Structure formats: structure tokens, C-alpha cells
Structure 1
Amino acid sequence: MANVDLSKPKVPTQAPKWLGTYGKYLWPKIANYLNKNPKILRADEYLVQQYCSAYDLYRTAYDDIQENGIQQAIYKTSVNPVNGDIVNKDFMGFRKNPAYQVLSDSLNKMASIGHELGLSPKARSELSELSEPTDNKKSISDSMREFFNAKS
């Protein structure tokens, strides 16, 4: 395994300023965890930004659902055209809180990105199976030649 300089974090431990409150809270936890993994690269910071941003949306949507419920009542309001007074409010049924879709989408995005970053047991085992790059690696053209010359 290659020597890893843990004194220089690959993913900054300071969250970007533009990130929301929940994302900023999660950022250092994820960054510290990922910086211990030798398979993580500096380029993975973009994935961490996406993950923390999705987490921020998830938590914001969750808070909205907690406050306003999973579904919302729909009313049709009739007003007097002369003076604008409300004449009648008819109950039309319920609709799903729009925050539920945001919550669902952000959870799916977090699952996908989390897998890429190795944040689940299965993803970690897949990451550990990746081979380390070696200095005596074949060129791409040699690998392609070998692939096409291999007998089935």
C-alpha cells in the first residue's frame, strides 16, 4: 500500500462558505473520515460537496415535514367579487407535502454519492478491493492489444 501523508488532508476539513447549516455541520465529520482512507483523492472533494449539499436539503425538507406534516389539506376558496370577502371554503382533499419529494430525491442522491465515497459497508469492501496503482503498469495500448488478442 502506498504511503499516505495524513498531515495534509485530501479533503479540506473546513466546509465551503456557501454550504447550508446542516451541510456545514456534516462536512468535517465526513472529511475527517475520508481523509483516513488512502483511496480518497483531492478530486473527491466535489463529491463531498454534493453529499453535504444533499444532506442539507434532506434535513431542511425533513424539518418542513415535521412542522407541516406529510400531507396538506387543499381548500377551494370562493370570494365575493364585489367586496372580496371569503364566502366559502370547500375541502378538496389532501396532497403530499412538496418537501417529501425533496427529501426523497436528496436521500437517493446521498445513497448514490455515499456509495462512490465508500460510506456504506458494501461500498467500503468494494473500495478495499481496488488495486493500488503501480509504477510498472502496462500502457493502455498494451492492455488493449492483450485484450483483443486473448482467446475466449
Structure 2
Amino acid sequence: MWTKLVPILQASGYVKQADKGTIEAFCINYQLLRKGYDSIKTDGVVTKVSKTVVNQRTGETYEDNAGWKRNPASQIIDSATAKLNSLAHELGLTPSARASLLQLSDDNDEEPNIKEMLNGGSEF
């Protein structure tokens, strides 16, 4: 993910060296999302819960179905997705974030420069 993401962010011009930690966190959470998804593909969304039962008369033990529980990987996916959405917004990777960056760029063009602010736009 890092090798694909960094060139895109560098080309945008909005991401700087100081954002390295944010980019790294994005890549880590992306990897967590992928691993969680792989677990769900392999093990399913729910997993069987069993309990060991001891027969009181014979002393034999056996596994009995105690129901089903949510695959813990689904919680990892939920958490990683939320963090990815937040980090993507910070890095300008969402449509709304890009629109905000474009708006900031347009706003800067309309602001008067320091000379105009101090002199009221007129020369001495």
C-alpha cells in the first residue's frame, strides 16, 4: 500500500514529510482490514462456540454446541475501516476532503496580499 499511496500523495502537493506517521497509520490499518477480511473469508462471519461437557455417570467428555459468536475479525474490520475513513480525510483521499482542499486553494487566490491590507491597495 505504501508504494502505491505515497506517489499519489506526493503528486497532490498537500502532503509533506511531517505527514509520514499519518500515512504509516493509514497503511497499517489497511493491512489490518485486509487480514480481517481474509479471516472472515476463511472462517466465516460467525464462529461456533462449543463447551466441554462431562458425562456424570461415565466420566466421558465431549464437545457440545453452545451457540455462535461474531468472528473477532469483524471487529477488527469495523475499527480499521473507521480509522481508514478518518485518516483518508486527513490525507485528502476522500471526495469531501479534496473539495475542501480545492476550496482552500480558491480562497487563497481571493485574499488580498499584505501590501493591499496595509495600504488599502494604494501606492504611496
**What TM-score comes out, normalization by structure 2 length?**
0.77
Whose Rg is larger? 2
Residues 42-81 of structure 1: matches in 2 within 5 Å? 42-79=17-54
Residues 86-125 of structure 1: matches in 2 within 5 Å? 86=61, 88-125=62-99
Matches of 1:40 and 1:90, distance apart in 2:
55
Relative contact order (alpha carbons < 8 A, sep ≥ 6): 1 or 2 greater?
2
Matches of 2:4 and 2:100, distance apart in 1:
22
- What count of residue pairs does the alignment treat as equivalent? 108
1:97 alignment partner AA: N
Q: Mind listing any 5+ residue stretches in structure 2 that lack a counterpart? A: 115-124
Q: Mind listing any 5+ residue stretches in structure 1 that lack a counterpart? A: 1-25, 138-152
1:5 matched to which residue of 2? none
Matches of 2:96 and 2:39, distance apart in 1:
32
Matches of 2:49 and 2:15, distance apart in 1:
48
Deviations 1:53-81 (A, max 9, x none): 00011101110111000001111112479
Identity of aligned residues (%): 36
Indicate the SS of the match to 1:36: helix
Corresponding residue to 2:6 among 31, 36, 40: 31
Indicate the SS of the match to 1:66: helix
